[in-house]
Amino acid sequence: MTLRILRPGLLTTVQDRGRFGLQHLGVVPCGAMDPVALELANGLVGNRRDEAVLEITVLGPEIVFESDTLVALCGAEMEARLGGMPMPANRPVLVATGTVLNARRTTLGSRAYLAVAGGIQLEPVLGSRSTYLPAKFGGLQGRALRAGDVLPLVENVAALSAKRYESLRNKKDFAGLRTVRTVSWSAPALTLPAREPIVIHAMEGRHHGLFDAAARRAFFDATWKVTPDSNRMGFRLSGPVLARSEAGEILSEPACLGTVQVPANGLPIALMADHQTTGGYPKMAEIAAADVPRLAQLAPGGSVQFARCTLEQAGELRRVLRQRVDSALRSLAWDFRK
Amino acid sequence: MYAEFGTTLDLETNQSLQALAAALRARSLPWVRDVVPALCGIAVHFDPFHPELPASVLEYFQVLIEEAFKSASKFEGSGRIVEVPVCYDLEFGLDLKEIAEKTSVPLEEIRKRHAKSEHHVLMVGFSPGQPYIGGLDPKLSVPRRPTPRTVMPAGSVAIANAQTAVYPYETPGGWSIVGRTPLRVFDPAREPASLFAPGDRVRIIAIDKKEFESLL
């Protein structure tokens, strides 16, 4: 009823959908950087969409499953081997006790999600299992996973996994292994960057007018690079320096997932899952909610352009993405009910 | 979604926002994740992918806020006084010298004026439990630093724009550090988890390094 970490990878944390309802006390939402991949991974193993999973960043972990477990790997494509063979991604995979997942480097995208049937069963903190690294709470002792860590799964994970696997259509054996079984179909990857620079839709922010004309143009014209000091809190972008038309301070006010703020050095920061709940730097733009998961898949060094959109267009992008995720999940739900 | 009710620090506006937030929360809408009363406005965060989300969120919120204003009761502050020991040694007050240069107020006077200001918690935000405290002595007004520090030591007491903040954790931050408190500002295992809440009054007690260490 556990899985054990043999090698942790660069930054592997436990994340669910996030910690909500406490932002008025400054409690950061956290949660999966790519919530679409989280939802698909959970759907593939028959979980609720907000169950806790492992978020894997750029360099993957080595993990041994200590009971028969139905798993799914979604989000970034990566070199990952299961029982010594390349692991099939974006589909449910039933692994036998003792099987080792050896994940290496991501090859497209930067964050992969490993879901297990029943979810990771750590004690929730303030309503969520998501790890918040700066404050050291949530997940496993509020920290990134280390070699030797043991994560609890549901008590009956073997029986639950077998039952869920049995209910799937088009099952097939995998690479002649007895220890790994899967299916002959896969879910779509909806958030991976096809080619760079990726195009991310953004609305003008509340303080757009505080910047000079050149800066307002440059934000939407330039190709921005994600700098190496980017993290789960924010993506720092390098490109043209964005100058204000008038100096002066604004009062701190609430910030949001996808807010693009510009400190006085003129270089924008896109706020991500561990974003501060309030901030006092002017807001150049607000990224459309539907495009935040795709931005989250960009690794340091990756490039991005911003395309101007309206509130209505952002809403439409949101509805389209919701439909695509729903239709991917509906066919799975049908399978699991059978 | 953010609704702004003013652009200056005003205790009365701030207190009516606390009441408005309570009225909005009482609606328990399934797609509303967070209601955040701020210094002079209120933010409502929603789940962008919730199946019950209204088609026109902005119009819906306008009606909602107008209704909440009618039903909101008067907020008189929390009635609590939170005592905060602060050590202003240069070892902790990393920006004291810089503030002295910018404001032409001598070091010792900065310490005194900061401790004696009429502090009120106007908002909790940025990181878990971090208070934005209004009422800073106007002589100590400094803007934010041009480039935020990538690491502010936990417990840092910092000032900017007529306010004081206490940083509960090691996080990036752009305010000027005057000292440090040994108190645990936020503890998820404690009830309540947050030492500060909007509406609290704050009394600062200046301590030396020895006292600081004994309180850790």
- pLDDT at residue number A101: 98
The parent domain of residue A117 ranges over 2-189
Residues A107 and A13 in one domain: yes
Q: Kindly state the tokens that stand for B28.
A: 């328990």
Residues B64 and B162 in one domain: no
**Is residue B38 assigned to a domain?**
yes
The parent domain of residue B48 ranges over 2-71
Residues B67 and B86 in one domain: no
Chain A partners within 8 Å of B150 (Cβ): 229
pLDDT band at A333 (very low <50, low <70, confident <90, very high): low
**Is residue B6 assigned to a domain?**
yes
Q: Looking at A161, A189, A217, which one is the last position of a domain?
A: A189
**Is residue A127 assigned to a domain?**
yes
pLDDT band at B69 (very low <50, low <70, confident <90, very high): confident
Asked if the model's pLDDT at residue A188 lies above 70, the reply is: yes
Q: What is the reported pTM?
A: 0.92
Phi, psi of A293 (to 5 degrees): -60, -35
Q: Please state, in angstroms and rounded to a whole number, the distance separating the CA atoms of residues A241 and B147.
A: 13
Mean pLDDT of chain B: 91
Residues B102 and B178 in one domain: yes
How far apart are the CA of A36 and the nearest CA of chain B, in angstroms? 10
pLDDT in tens, A241-295: 999 998 877 888 999 999 999 998 999 999 999 999 998 899 999 999 999 999 9
**Is residue A94 assigned to a domain?**
yes
Picking from A26, A29, A35, the nearest residue to B129 by CB comes out as A26
Residues B93 and B147 in one domain: yes
Instruction: Report the domain count for chain A.
Output: 2
Q: Looking at A168, A189, A210, which one is the last position of a domain?
A: A189
Residues A83 and A167 in one domain: yes
Q: What is the mean pLDDT of residues B143-154?
A: 88
Residues B86 and B153 in one domain: yes
pLDDT band at A334 (very low <50, low <70, confident <90, very high): low
- pLDDT at residue number B173: 85
Residues A42 and A64 in one domain: yes
pLDDT in tens, B153-204: 999 999 998 899 999 998 888 899 999 999 999 999 999 999 999 889 999 9
Chain B partners within 8 Å of A290 (Cβ): 48
Picking from A35, A249, A254, the nearest residue to B43 by CB comes out as A254
Residues B97 and B33 in one domain: no
**Is residue B64 assigned to a domain?**
yes
Residues A210 and A171 in one domain: no
CATH code for the domain in which residue A202 is found: 2.40.100.10
**Is residue A109 assigned to a domain?**
yes
**Is residue A241 assigned to a domain?**
yes
CB-CB contact of A114 with A131 (8 Å): no
Q: What phi-psi label fits residue A9: left (phi over 0), alpha (psi between -120 and 50 degrees) or beta?
A: left
Residues B66 and B85 in one domain: no
Q: Looking at B71, B99, B127, which one is the last position of a domain?
A: B71
Residues A161 and A255 in one domain: no
Q: Is A254 on the interface with B (CB under 8 A)?
A: yes
**Is residue A29 assigned to a domain?**
yes
Chain B partners within 8 Å of A21 (Cβ): 33-34
Residues A181 and A290 in one domain: no
Residues B52 and B130 in one domain: no
**Is residue B93 assigned to a domain?**
yes
Residues A133 and A208 in one domain: no
Instruction: Report the domain count for chain B.
Output: 2
**Is residue A176 assigned to a domain?**
yes
CATH code for the domain in which residue B66 is found: 3.30.1360.40
**Is residue A328 assigned to a domain?**
no
Q: Looking at B49, B71, B93, which one is the last position of a domain?
A: B71
Residues B188 and B88 in one domain: yes
Residues B89 and B191 in one domain: yes
Quote the DSSP letter at residue B161. T
Q: What is the mean pLDDT of residues A139-161?
A: 98
Q: Is A194 on the interface with B (CB under 8 A)?
A: no
Q: Does A22 sit within 8 Å of B34, measured CB to CB?
A: yes
Q: Please state, in angstroms and rounded to a whole number, the distance separating the CA atoms of residues B155 and A311.
A: 39
**Helix (H), strand (E), coil (C) string for chain A:** CEEEEEECCCEEEEECCCCCCCHHHCCCCCCCCCHHHHHHHHHHCCCCCCCCEEEEECECCEEEECCCEEEEEEEEEEEEEECCEECCCCCCEEECCCCEEEEEEEEEEEEEEEEECCCECCCCECCECCCECCCCECCECCECCCCCCEEEECCCHHHHHHHHHHCCCCEEEECCEEEEEEECCCCCCCCCCCCCCEEEEEEECCCHHHECHHHHHHHHHCCEEECCCCCCCEEEEECCCCCECCCCCCCCEECCCCEEECCCCCCCEEECCCCCCEECCCEEEEECHHHHHHHHCCCCCCEEEEEECCHHHHHHHHHHHHHHHHHHHHHHHHHHHC
Q: Looking at A169, A189, A209, which one is the last position of a domain?
A: A189
Residues A159 and A211 in one domain: no
**Mutate which of A277, A292, A310, A317 to test chain B, going by most B C-beta atoms within 10 A?**
A277
Residues A166 and A251 in one domain: no
Residues A214 and A154 in one domain: no
Chain A partners within 8 Å of B193 (Cβ): 25, 27, 126
**Is residue A78 assigned to a domain?**
yes
Q: What is the mean pLDDT of residues A99-121?
A: 97
**Is residue B201 assigned to a domain?**
yes
CATH code for the domain in which residue B101 is found: 2.40.100.10
**Is residue B119 assigned to a domain?**
yes
Picking from A134, A254, A322, the nearest residue to B127 by CB comes out as A134
- pLDDT at residue number B7: 85
**Is residue B76 assigned to a domain?**
no
Residues A179 and A221 in one domain: no
pLDDT in tens, A48-58: 999 999 999 99
**Mutate which of A23, A24, A28 to test chain B, going by most B C-beta atoms within 10 A?**
A24
Q: How is the beta sheet containing B32-37 ordered, strand by strand? A: B2-4, B41-46, B32-37
- pLDDT at residue number A120: 98
Residues A131 and A172 in one domain: yes
Chain A partners within 8 Å of B37 (Cβ): 24
Asked if the model's pLDDT at residue A87 lies above 70, the reply is: yes
